[in-house]
Amino acid sequence: MDKIIIHGGKKLSGTIPVSGAKNAALTLLPCALLTDEPMTLRNLPRLADIDGFQHLMNQFGVSTTIAGSRPEDFGRVMTLEATRITSNVAPYDLVRKMRASILVLGPMLARMGEATVSLPGGCAIGNRPIDLHLKALEAFGATIELAAGYVRAIAPDGGIPGGSYSFPVVSVGATENALMAAVLARGTSSLHNAAREPEIVDLCNLLVAMGAEIEGIGTGDLVIHGVPRLHGATYRVMPDRIEAGSYACAAAITGGEVTLAGARAEDMAATLQALRDAGVHVEVVKDGLHVAANGKLRPVTISTAPYPGFATDMQAQLMALLCRAEGSSVLTETIFENRYMHVPELNRMGAHIETKGRTAIVHGVPKLTGAEVMATDLRASMSLVIAGLAAEGETQVHRLYHLDRGYERLEEKLSLVGADVERVGD
């Protein structure tokens, strides 16, 4: 199993290209199930999760072809064609590694009238039930059955009629599944207290490009007028706001200066505000964002929240940065109850972090020291890399399969801006 070796203490300087968004791409891929015409996605990141979802689509009989596959290229172009769906079952072996697999449930139900999907896996960051996915589909007229670790959704004869559902709490995945189910419904559907994340907007924009009729895009109230069929489309995946924020933290903790080419400031306002509050200079430039820090970081107090609040997917990376702030920061995790597994690993590197329930107090320290650390989930992995970039000596980050799920060619991008980082086999 591979590991990353980092020799810290080097200021990052230069330009990092921001890849297509993992969380958007995994939502856009299942849209191919909604039409028998080709759908082409551009700026698709090279990630293990994308490869896994491609295999899942192949399981259904969807053909996939990839262009832009030269080793020196970041991103790819994938065309998916679901002319004839040969299976409506997403098996355990393909679904268990990736929670996003549940997103085939809505489009398969809409297109085929029936779908059977294994209950999903993914990062072990807490309880992430799919009950809201199922309740929304039931509100649209589907029948839901749970048995032997699988969920089966069945539409009435003639397809789901559509309906109205109000989410008791904001759920990104459930909003996405419900949207994809509703676009081919026989009637009009509405979603209230829907997620507003930029990735949801990206999904809506693709569906509209395919012929869907959606009102209220970018708000918490969505109205979807079902149409008889959707057509193919070519669409560019939005830039990854979490990757951009992660590299901003990496530059800041080293006292460096980087340009994040392609980053979209309007998608990451809460992250940029947190960085500015911590004393990091952030400027919107023509081709993205310019981030600079002088090594003097201020403590902050912040809570994670659904968009437009501070993203839970940025909590671990910001925590790593705040380990070097001059004072004590307070972070509160409101989304997932088990998302501090990186804390013991950061403390192994000389950080001073205390946790109590969903709150973490990060006492800034004069220095971090390299150590062998173990990645526990995707964003926790990146927090250890960020800490390692500023640590004295050598840091070894194990369990890279987490990083490979969400960061396209991480060590190559960091090397572009002067980091001393290398991937080696254990």
Q: How far apart are CA 349 and CA 182, in angstroms?
A: 49
**240 touches 18 (CB < 8 A):** yes
Burial class (CB in 10 A: 0-12, 13-18, 19+), 148: exposed
d(CA 108, CA 89): 9
Q: Are 380 and 345 in contact (CB under 8 A)?
A: yes
Task: Pick out the residues of the known binding site for UDP-N-acetyl-alpha-D-glucosamine.
Answer: 99, 128-132, 313, 335
- Residue 31 annotated as catalytic: no
What HEC string does the chain produce? CEEEEEECCCCCEEEEECCECHHHHHHHHHHHHHCCCCEEEEEECCCHHHHHHHHHHHHCCCEEEEECCCCCCCCEEEEEECCCCCCCEECHHHHCCCHHHHHHHHHHHHHHCEEEEECCCCCCCCCCCCHHHHHHHHHCCCEEEEECCEEEEECCCCCCCCCEEECCCCCHHHHHHHHHHHCCCCCEEEEECCCCCHHHHHHHHHHHHCCCEEECCCCCEEEEECCCCCCCEEEECCECHHHHHHHHHHHHHCCCEEEEECCCHHHCHHHHHHHHHCCCEEEEECCEEEEECCCCCCCCEEEECCCCCECHHHHHHHHHHHCCCCCEEEEECCCCCCCCCCHHHHHHCCCEEEEECCEEEEECCCCCECCEEECCCHHHHHHHHHHHHHCECEEEEECCHHHHHHCCCHHHHHHHCCCEEEEEEC
Q: What's the CA gap between 40 and 76, in Å, rounded?
A: 10
> How many other C-beta atoms lie within 10 A of the C-beta of residue 402?
22
In the annotated binding site for phosphoenolpyruvate, the residues are 22-23
- Cα–Cα distance measured from residue 73 to residue 268, given in angstroms and rounded to the nearest whole number: 25
Binding-site residue set: 22-23, 99, 128-132, 313, 335
Instruction: Select which of 123, 204, 249, 323 is catalytic.
Output: 123
**Catalytic center residues:** 123
